[in-house]
Chain A
Amino acid sequence: MNALLTVTGLTVRLPLDGEPRKVLSDVSLGIGHGEAVGLVGESGSGKSMTARSIARLLPQGAQVEGEIGYAGTDVRALRGQGLRDFRSKVSMVFQDPRAHINPVRTIGDFLTEALRVNRRVSRRVADGQAVRALEEVGVADSRRRLRQFPHELSGGLLQRVMIASALLTEPRLLLADEPTTALDVTTQAEVMAILDELRRERGLALLFITHDLELAAAVCDRTMVMYAGRIMESRASALLHERPLHPYTAALTAARPSVLRRVHRLTTVPGRPVSAFEAPGGCPFAGRCAHVEDRCRERRPDLRPLAGGEVACVRAEELHQEPAVTRD
């Protein structure tokens, strides 16, 4: 695959209670030109940290091992102007737009800052570009919006402003970290529609981070499932959803109630999701898995190719043969 972004063996430790604790463990992934990839996981799975590592937005004191390559450049070695250029090509949209926008500056200031400061574009030209970007994400009356302050806009509208700002520098890759989680369902549908449309029109690659497996499967070509700082499965979305390879993916699918039908009891997974530094030796999911065997606890299973995707489970083949075991 001619990948736009490649991550190889990424391990990240963050200082927690004065000690470096592992939050990502040997993460490898690739994103092709114009490809939409979903990254799904529960809290502490490392999905946001993966995106932050790529965008070079890790907190101070983070220890990073592994390689991150973007279109042939070593992202981890970038400094100064090189890093600024990289960030204009790889934009990020966050979950809570209100936490990532200066409340005392206007929407116009926010949208045009990067253009004026980094690219030395005049205010008038920058304003014109901002107006067009807002129209592109479906914000009506965009000239007036430039003079408004963040508190005057609803959450859905503000998230559209964030997407517009991410698009202004004409990126090739958009890292979207739960961009719709704080939004109402109908607004979520609109924001997803906008992302989907922009992606197709501009050939933009997308790393879409969410806790919602169904949402990821609905809008992404390929979905990766993370648990305890590791990628457990990576596969075409339709396949992953219909016949998951990893017991954890199957458990996630079965645990989520369906809007189509009621079940007598939801199939639950005992225990709670763990972070990378809490995970036991061997397979990190072993303690909660219904199909666990002794060998699962002995060695960490590597991510290996199977059935058109990749999976990190030693029993994947045999479980894949008997789908009745994992699904109701």
Chain B
Amino acid sequence: MTEAILQVEGLRKVFGAAVAVEDVSFSLAPGGSLAIVGESGSGKTTVANMIVGLERPTAGRVVACGRDRSRPPRSARERRERGHEVQIVFQDPYSSLDPRQSPAAAVDEVLRLHTRLGAPQRRRRVEELAELVGLDKRQLAALPSRLSGGQRQRVAIARALAAEPQVLILDESVAALDVSIQAQVLNVLADVREHTGVAYLFISHDLAVVRQVSDEVVVMQGGSIVERGPTSRVLDEPEHPYTRLLRASVPTLGWRPARRLTHFSTEAR
């Protein structure tokens, strides 16, 4: 296998007395796509936050592009360099954009910070990125309040890509979108990976979306990884009982939802 672009080893995070993440290890190849699947409380978003640097790991190591990023950066320069390595797109497109900044200005700001391009080149680059994610000129100049959820999410993706990251973390980035818009954004993500060679870390609870976008998958439950493997194998022949339960919970025609009384007592506080 080629050298991993992102490697996570023995990651652990403790909030007070609660262990949110316990001994999580995985690696992501350049241009690869790995999904972390789990339900609320599984620790999947905490893992993403630790990789990006929004949370500090209690123990363990995060290495991106050969550089350790388990500790906060020591200088503004180091912080900026880390921006070239990993970027993130969040779930809620309504709270992740500055309401007073047009998409063109938002993307340009990242270009000014992360590249040495002059103004005309930046303008061209903004247009390239807009075309890549499917935003037109009018949408580029509009304020976020004039854009729909799907359009906002494209802006967030374009902005993340402006830093030319090697890894893009997508934390439930299509979960809040309408079905017809979600399909558009999923296709955009496939195009972007094909054209730029960026690797994806996809955080999701939606197995159908995971099937569509990822090559490999890790399944998390209660902070730990319970199963991992190629996406098609894990979804077609799940081995761990929890993965089987997740798989059986996806509604399909003729699906009879199961009522499992045992689960109620464990979930109940």
Residues of chain A having any CB pair with chain B under 8 Å: 42-43, 138-141, 152-157, 184-190, 192-194, 196-197, 211-215, 217-219, 237-238, 241-242, 251-252, 255-263, 265-269, 272-273, 288
Contact = CB atoms under 8 A, between A and B. Distances in A.
B257 A255 contact: no
Contacts of A187: 39, 267
A251 B180 contact: yes
Given A192-B257, A214-B253, A266-B187, A153 B269 contact: yes
A266 B186 contact: yes
A189 B248 contact: yes
Contact of B212 (A153, A193, A257): A257
A190 B257 contact: yes
B257 A138 contact: no
Interface of B is mostly: helix
B184 A193 contact: no
Nearest to B266: A140
A157 B247 CA distance: 22
Interface residues of B, number: 48
Given A190-B257, A218-B252, 18 more contacts: A153-B268, A184-B205, A185-B39, A185-B205, A185-B207, A186-B39, A187-B39, A188-B257, A217-B253, A219-B251, A241-B253, A251-B180, A252-B179, A252-B180, A255-B180, A258-B211, A268-B183, A273-B180
B135 interface: no
A267 B267 CA distance: 38
Interface string B42-56: 000000000000000
Contacts of B260: 190
Contacts of B205: 184-185
Best-buried of A153, A184, A196, A219 by chain B (most CB within 10 Å):
A184
B249 A154 contact: no
Contacts of B247: 259
A156 B269 CA distance: 11
A269 B180 contact: yes
Contacts of B268: 139-141, 153-154, 157
